Chain A
Amino acid sequence: MSQDKSVLLKIKNLRIEGYSDEKWIEIVHGVDLTLHRGEVMGLIGESGAGKSTIGLAAMGFTRDGCRISEGSSIEFDGMELTTTPASDLQSLRGARIAYVAQSAAASFNPAHKLIDQHTEAPVQYRIKKRLESQEDAMELYERLRLPNPREIGFRYPHQVSGGQLQRAMTAMAMACRPDLIIFDEPTTALDVTTQIEVLSAIRDIVDQFNTAAIYITHDLAVVAQMADVIKVLLKGDEVEEADTRTMLENPKDDYTKSLWAVRDFKRDQKPRPTEGLPLISVKNVDASYGDTPVLHDVSFDIFEGMTVAVVGESGSGKSTTARCITGLLPPTSGEVLFKGQPLPPDYRNRTKDQLRQAQMIYQMADTALNPKVKICDIIGRPAQFYSGLHGPELKSRVDELLDLIELDPSQYYNRYPPELSGGQKQRIGIARSLAADPTFIICDEVTSALDQLVAEGILRLLDKLQNELNLSYMFITHDLATVRSIADEVVVMQYGKVVEQGPKDEMFKPPHHEYTDLLLSSVPEMDPDWLTTLLEERGVDDIGEAARASKQED
């Protein structure tokens, strides 16, 4: 292993313009960046900060409709990428610079086996023969602790889990032993427990091969584990750059400080009311998709004005429980009570009033709002549908709702959803559920698609609304930081069963159920040594799937 620490990538005064509305608009305003061999640089910032654009520019590439302006310089190992002909750039990418995308599921070609996609680049650039490369792939799979490293490559992308796919993609990026890898939010779409596996795998492999990396993320705790140097970006400008420890202990800029402070939002835990019936009561619910059972004997109560967080990995049955409550998936046995009265299992048999009482806010605001309907109609429709409001009454109700979610009515009334940012869309989603005047709202991963700053704003808004309107929330999430900040009670689910439930402060105190413990300890912390310590505690090989799989083999 060489310990060459020379400069690998030097970006000077990088300006990138994007073409929109028939003119060129500058989106990255002169960013400098220096990366040494074997160094990992974290790029953080909210969406629209230009992180990914800069990441791609490091390969001499821009998205369609973007261009690198005159006067920018990208020097990779002594080569000026801005003037290199396209054909040379092509062979540089893949062979010497690799890219790991956010969604491995979308980036793999579903029609080819993993290992065939892995060997494509080395064979094309004549770095290795096919068989050599396959052998190498298996070795990499082993290093990345994928289960059955010798066979997993012969599966198709849909036959392995999301975390495994992300690791296979990292292995693919290593196929030509590049000098530089660009990771673009590789763990954002993953659960906390899977995230750890991917993070440690990436860190090991970068270490082992002295590869330089640019790690793009909006999760500060993650970047603290991965990066040697952190660069903070805001709207295409550099805010500050420092090595990880300095940055964490002593951020200089106000913007950086605000990013660091996000995780501080926390409200007091409310006690469960001692008398009265629970608002929603899920009693011994079993449910199945076709013949596949997904929920087993799920029971919990939600009292008025309380927030109950339901946590668990993906596939643990959190969202299915919500579908049972809303009536989209009638349970096979058990029932859902609303103020002591059983609700009809199928939503089609429920009365208008029963439907009005329970509303839902969705994870992806993009798909939850009809892109072809104006904001005023999206919010106005439930008000019109349930309360029969018309004309000026309806308009004043919509204005009132827009005020409630802190958006200016005069500005947003006639807009369409695609014109709004992610956070604003989520606010509209909240307004739509409020328009029905409900008592109970199911929030299905409402913040997981958002940046931390924006997500915090949404959480504060939900909290404010709960106080003003005495709402009850069922908060489905896999992010325990969110749970910490907003929940009163916590329900932990695994494999369709409730593993543990109770008030938040008890739940966060040991002793935990084994699985709760795993979830809790997997939440990244801002301490840069956290991952190392955690892995030592767990024993490097004793993490997640790889361990489970190897146990099964024995």
Chain B
Amino acid sequence: MNYFIIGFYALVIGASTLAAYYQKRTAFILLFSLTLVSFVMGIVGGEAMLWGVTLLAGLIAFSAGVSYSFREFLIIILPRDASKEMRTAPLTAGFGLFVIFTYTIAGVFAPIIAPYGEAEVISSAFAPADENMLLGADQLGRDMFSRIIYGARNTVGLALLATILAFLMGATAGLYAATKGGKLDQLLGRIVDVIMSIPSLIFSLLLLSIFGTNTVTLIIVIAIIYAPRVFRLARSVGGNVVVMDYIEAAKLRGEGTWYLIRKEILPNSTAPLVAEFGLEFCFVFLLVAGLSFLGLGIQPPTADWGSMVRENATLISFGEMTPLIPAAAIALLTVAVNFVVDWMLYRSSGLKE
């Protein structure tokens, strides 16, 4: 028993008692389960485990704090309508936005932020972290931190472009099919069925080995693989809008199909499409990372999180966590995007009513 353990238990027990006294149900349940869990952990893992719990709690509290202040910051700087929306946003959405914001900054200003170039060899292979290298060096002696920063630009940028392209193709075709109906709808639908029937990873491997791996082909191949899902969604959402009387009114007015799609149908389908955009972005992102891991994605020496995991994978056997850092970067962005998407889905689904 030392002061840390005594202090730790005193804190959790005291806090749960206070929560119980002031009848904060959720807070009490949370704190008290933490107390019970720490008893078990203290017995099993000793002091080290308790330190872990303290760190984890601190980390969560820290991110909650950051998300809260970021949300408040957005509420102040955004225009009136948007800040009203932000005020109702959950803390998780604030966190998601903060992470996305950080990644964007890192990606856009990569050359300024990164201390070294992405292909610059500055030390020996697998050198440990020192005052020059925040996260150590990779298998060729390049600075890990700089490569992660550049990776944000390459990996995220590529995934974003591919998703946008997939959406342009899928949503346009889907809404067009919904508006026109008939044979065209059937034809597009069957084409999409064919694409969807081939497992996406195998299909992309196939296409990439046929057309070669450069960034443009990569983007187009990924967009083709993901467009069918967007097509399906856009068509079903559009199908519900097309039957409305205001579409009939516009048709009777003599409006063309393109006007119908752009002005009448699209504004009423944006919410589900935006939510889907967030989800697809995560999938595309993971596919890009996966392809890079297999060696078919972004080619070296360009920094890319997926290939960074692969290249440094050997280090795992030495008990180093370096290869996990780019993986964590992928995971964090995926979680963040999903937090934001959840919030958007919640808003568009009318669950709040």
Residues of A bordering B, CB below 8 Å: 64-65, 326-328, 347, 350, 352, 355, 359-360, 362, 364, 367-373, 381-382, 385-386, 432, 436
Interface residues of B in 211-258 (CB under 8 A from A): 244-246, 248-249, 251-255
- The reply to whether A360 and B249 contact each other, CB–CB distance below 8 Å, is yes
Q: With A385-B254, A385-B255 known to touch, is A432 a contact of B268 (CB < 8 Å)?
A: no
Tell me whether B267 is interfacial, beta carbon within 8 Å: yes
Most chain B beta carbons < 10 A, residue from A362, A364, A367, A372: A372
Q: With A65-B353, A362-B245, A367-B245 known to touch, is A373 a contact of B251 (CB < 8 Å)?
A: no
For chain B, what secondary structure do more than half of its interface residues adopt (helix, strand, loop), or is it mixed? helix
Cβ–Cβ < 8 Å partners of A326 in chain B: 252
Cβ–Cβ < 8 Å partners of A350 in chain B: 254
Tell me whether B264 is interfacial, beta carbon within 8 Å: yes
- The reply to whether A382 and B267 contact each other, CB–CB distance below 8 Å, is no
> Which 5 interchain pairs have the tightest Cβ spacing?
A372-B267, A368-B245, A370-B246, A362-B245, A367-B245
Most chain A beta carbons < 10 A, residue from B244, B246, B248, B267: B246
Interface residues of B in 252-298 (CB under 8 A from A): 252-255, 263-264, 267-268
Closest to A386 in B: B253
Q: How many residues of B contact A (CB 8 A)?
A: 15
- The reply to whether A352 and B254 contact each other, CB–CB distance below 8 Å, is yes
- The reply to whether B254 and A370 contact each other, CB–CB distance below 8 Å, is no
Cβ–Cβ < 8 Å partners of B263 in chain A: 373
- The reply to whether B264 and A370 contact each other, CB–CB distance below 8 Å, is yes
Closest to B269 in A: A372
Closest to B271 in A: A372
C-alpha gap A368/B250 in the complex (Å)? 10
Choice from A364, A371, A382 contacting B268 with Cβ under 8 Å: A371
- Nearest CB of chain A from residue B282's CB, rounded to whole Å: 27
- Nearest CB of chain B from residue A185's CB, rounded to whole Å: 21
- The reply to whether B268 and A370 contact each other, CB–CB distance below 8 Å, is yes
> Total number of A-B contacts with CB less than 8 angstroms?
49
- The reply to whether B267 and A355 contact each other, CB–CB distance below 8 Å, is no
Other contacts beyond A372-B267, A373-B267, A432-B249: 14, CB < 8 A = A65-B353, A328-B251, A347-B252, A350-B254, A359-B252, A368-B245, A368-B246, A369-B246, A370-B244, A370-B246, A371-B268, A372-B268, A382-B253, A436-B253
- Nearest CB of chain B from residue A64's CB, rounded to whole Å: 7
C-alpha gap A367/B267 in the complex (Å)? 14
Cβ–Cβ < 8 Å partners of A369 in chain B: 246
- The reply to whether A355 and B249 contact each other, CB–CB distance below 8 Å, is no
Cβ–Cβ < 8 Å partners of B255 in chain A: 385
- The reply to whether B268 and A355 contact each other, CB–CB distance below 8 Å, is no
- The reply to whether B252 and A364 contact each other, CB–CB distance below 8 Å, is no
A-B contact pairs, 24 of them (CB 8 A): A64-B353, A65-B353, A326-B252, A328-B248, A347-B251, A347-B252, A347-B254, A350-B254, A355-B252, A355-B253, A360-B249, A360-B252, A362-B245, A367-B244, A368-B244, A368-B249, A370-B267, A370-B268, A372-B267, A372-B268, A381-B253, A385-B254, A386-B253, A432-B249
Cβ–Cβ < 8 Å partners of A382 in chain B: 253
Cβ–Cβ < 8 Å partners of B267 in chain A: 370, 372-373
Residues of B bordering A, CB below 8 Å: 244-246, 248-249, 251-255, 263-264, 267-268, 353
Cβ–Cβ < 8 Å partners of A432 in chain B: 249
Cβ–Cβ < 8 Å partners of A360 in chain B: 248-249, 252
Closest to A351 in B: B254
C-alpha gap A436/B267 in the complex (Å)? 23
Cβ–Cβ < 8 Å partners of B251 in chain A: 328, 347
Closest to B268 in A: A372
C-alpha gap A368/B252 in the complex (Å)? 12
- The reply to whether A364 and B254 contact each other, CB–CB distance below 8 Å, is no
Closest to A353 in B: B254
- The reply to whether A362 and B252 contact each other, CB–CB distance below 8 Å, is no
C-alpha gap A371/B247 in the complex (Å)? 12
- Nearest CB of chain B from residue A46's CB, rounded to whole Å: 23
C-alpha gap A65/B350 in the complex (Å)? 13
- The reply to whether B245 and A364 contact each other, CB–CB distance below 8 Å, is yes
Cβ–Cβ < 8 Å partners of A327 in chain B: 252
C-alpha gap A362/B246 in the complex (Å)? 9
- Nearest CB of chain B from residue A443's CB, rounded to whole Å: 13
Closest to B88 in A: A22
Closest to A368 in B: B245
- The reply to whether A328 and B252 contact each other, CB–CB distance below 8 Å, is yes
- Nearest CB of chain B from residue A331's CB, rounded to whole Å: 16
Cβ–Cβ < 8 Å partners of A373 in chain B: 263-264, 267
C-alpha gap A360/B264 in the complex (Å)? 18
C-alpha gap A381/B268 in the complex (Å)? 18
Cβ–Cβ < 8 Å partners of A347 in chain B: 251-252, 254
Cβ–Cβ < 8 Å partners of B246 in chain A: 367-370
Cβ–Cβ < 8 Å partners of B353 in chain A: 64-65
- Nearest CB of chain B from residue A361's CB, rounded to whole Å: 9
C-alpha gap A371/B251 in the complex (Å)? 17
Closest to B247 in A: A370
Most chain A beta carbons < 10 A, residue from B249, B251, B252, B255: B249
- The reply to whether B245 and A355 contact each other, CB–CB distance below 8 Å, is no
Closest to B264 in A: A370
- Nearest CB of chain B from residue A360's CB, rounded to whole Å: 6
- Nearest CB of chain A from residue B70's CB, rounded to whole Å: 21
C-alpha gap A71/B264 in the complex (Å)? 49
- Nearest CB of chain A from residue B75's CB, rounded to whole Å: 13
C-alpha gap A355/B255 in the complex (Å)? 11
- The reply to whether A355 and B254 contact each other, CB–CB distance below 8 Å, is yes
- Nearest CB of chain B from residue A76's CB, rounded to whole Å: 28
- Nearest CB of chain A from residue B247's CB, rounded to whole Å: 8
Closest to B246 in A: A370
C-alpha gap A328/B250 in the complex (Å)? 12
C-alpha gap A369/B247 in the complex (Å)? 9
- Nearest CB of chain B from residue A444's CB, rounded to whole Å: 9
Closest to B266 in A: A372
C-alpha gap A355/B249 in the complex (Å)? 11
Closest to B263 in A: A373
Cβ–Cβ < 8 Å partners of B248 in chain A: 328, 360
- Nearest CB of chain A from residue B204's CB, rounded to whole Å: 36
Cβ–Cβ < 8 Å partners of B264 in chain A: 370, 373
Closest to B255 in A: A385
Closest to B251 in A: A347
Cβ–Cβ < 8 Å partners of B244 in chain A: 367-368, 370
Cβ–Cβ < 8 Å partners of A381 in chain B: 253
C-alpha gap A362/B248 in the complex (Å)? 10
Cβ–Cβ < 8 Å partners of B253 in chain A: 355, 381-382, 385-386, 436
- Nearest CB of chain A from residue B274's CB, rounded to whole Å: 13
Cβ–Cβ < 8 Å partners of B249 in chain A: 360, 362, 368, 432
C-alpha gap A382/B248 in the complex (Å)? 14
Cβ–Cβ < 8 Å partners of A372 in chain B: 267-268
- Nearest CB of chain B from residue A522's CB, rounded to whole Å: 28
Closest to A377 in B: B263
- Nearest CB of chain A from residue B26's CB, rounded to whole Å: 20
Closest to A63 in B: B353
Cβ–Cβ < 8 Å partners of A371 in chain B: 268
Cβ–Cβ < 8 Å partners of A64 in chain B: 353
C-alpha gap A359/B244 in the complex (Å)? 16
- Nearest CB of chain A from residue B44's CB, rounded to whole Å: 41
Cβ–Cβ < 8 Å partners of A362 in chain B: 245, 249
C-alpha gap A432/B246 in the complex (Å)? 11
C-alpha gap A526/B249 in the complex (Å)? 37
Cβ–Cβ < 8 Å partners of A385 in chain B: 253-255
Closest to B254 in A: A355
